[in-house]
Amino acid sequence: MTRRLSSAAMLALAGSASLAVVLTMTGTVPAISQPAPPQAAAPATQPAGDAPAVPAAPPAPAAAPAPATGATTLATPPAPATAPAPAEAQAAAVPGNLGASIARPFGRHGPLTERERAMAETAWQYFVKSYQPDTGLVNAVGSYPSTTLWDTGSYVSALVAARELGIIDKREFDLRANLLIKTLRNLDLFRGEMPNKVYNTKTGQKVDYANKPGEVGHSVLDIGRMLVWLKIMKERYPYLAPGIDAAVLRWNFCNTVKPDGSLFGSVLSKGETRYVQEGRLGYEQYAAKGFELWGFEAPAALSPDPVEFTEIFGVRVPIDGRDPRIFGNMN
C-alpha cells in the first residue's frame, strides 16, 4: 500500500511534464503512432509543431490515345520520380516509430489550465501535510512517520514536478531540496553499505518494520528508483549536484551490482546478512535503468530473459519466466 498511495499522489501532481522528464532520461519514451500523411496536397501554412506532410506523388500522365494506322508512334514519357520525403516526415509516417516520438514532442505543452492547476495543488497538499520539517522526509502513508527509498524517490519526483509546474516557488523548492539532501548525506546505512529499507521520517534513523531503531536490509529496487530521481534533480538543478553526489558516493555498491550486471538486495536472517537477487520483469529493468544513469553496467538486470507470455482476454502479456517456488521472489 505504501508505494501505491505515494505513487498515486505523485503521478496526480507530476502530470505530463514530470512524466516526460523521467521517460526521456530513462530511455523508455513510448513510441507514438503517427497517422499516415494525407494524400491531398499539404496547405501552404503548417501549424506550429506539426511534422512536415509527405508530398503526395503527382498523378501519372493519362495514356495517349492509340495512334491511327500508319501514324508515327511517340514514346510516352515516364512519370516523374517522387522526390524523397524529408527524414523527419518519413519517420513520422511510420506507426510506432521510436525516432519520430523522440524528435516530435508528445502530450500537451504549455501553462496549466485552471482545472489542471487545482488538481496539482490538491495533490501537492499530501506532501505538505506529511512533511517532516526536521529531516525533510515525507511520510510514506498519512501521518505514520516512516518511509522507504522508493517512497522518498516519489517525493523527489513530486518536488521536481511542483517546481516545474509552478506550484511552489524557488525558495520553497530550495529549502526542501537542501534539507532532504542533507538528511540523505547523513543516513545511517545498513551494515555501512547501502541505505536501509526503512527510515523514521521524524528522526531520520534507520528502523525495522515496526518503526523501532534497527535495520532490516536494503532494497535494490527502491534504491534504483531513488537513483532515477536523484539523477533528474541534479541534471535539472545543477547547483544541487555536489550535495546529491556526496550522498550517493557514500554508498558501497560492491555487494549490490554483480560482475554480470545482476542486482542484489540484502536481508537479515538470524542476525546474518544474506544477499539475494531482487527484481522480476518490469521492476528489475526499471531499477537497472536507475543504476545505468549513474554509470553502472547492469546487462543481466536489463535483459527481459527469461520472458514468457500468457494470454489475458485475448492479449499476450509478457511475464517473468522464473519460478517463484524456486527463486522465492514475486516482484
Q: Does the model's pTM come out above 0.85? A: no
Q: Report yes or no: 190 and 217 within 8 Å, Cβ to Cβ.
A: yes
**Which pLDDT score, from 0 to 100, does residue 322 have?**
76
* Separation in Å, CA 180 to CA 13, 185, 186, 310: 19, 9, 10, 43
**Which pLDDT score, from 0 to 100, does residue 214 have?**
94
What is the rounded end-to-end Cα distance, in angstroms, of the chain? 14
Q: Where are the domains of the chain?
A: 114-327
Residue the block writes with cell 513510441: 31
Q: Which CATH architecture has domain 114-327?
A: Alpha/alpha barrel (1.50)
Q: What is the DSSP letter of 253?
A: -
Q: Can you tell me the distance from the alpha carbon of 162 to that of 173, in angstroms, rounded to the nearest whole number?
A: 8
CA dihedral 92, 93, 99, 100 (to 10 degrees): 20
Q: Which has the closest alpha carbon to 5: 104, 123, 97?
A: 123
Instruction: For residue range 123-181, list pLDDT tens digits in order.
Output: 999 999 999 999 999 999 999 999 999 999 999 999 999 999 999 999 999 999 999 99
Instruction: For residue range 267-313, list pLDDT tens digits in order.
Output: 988 889 998 888 777 788 888 899 999 998 888 787 787 888 889 99
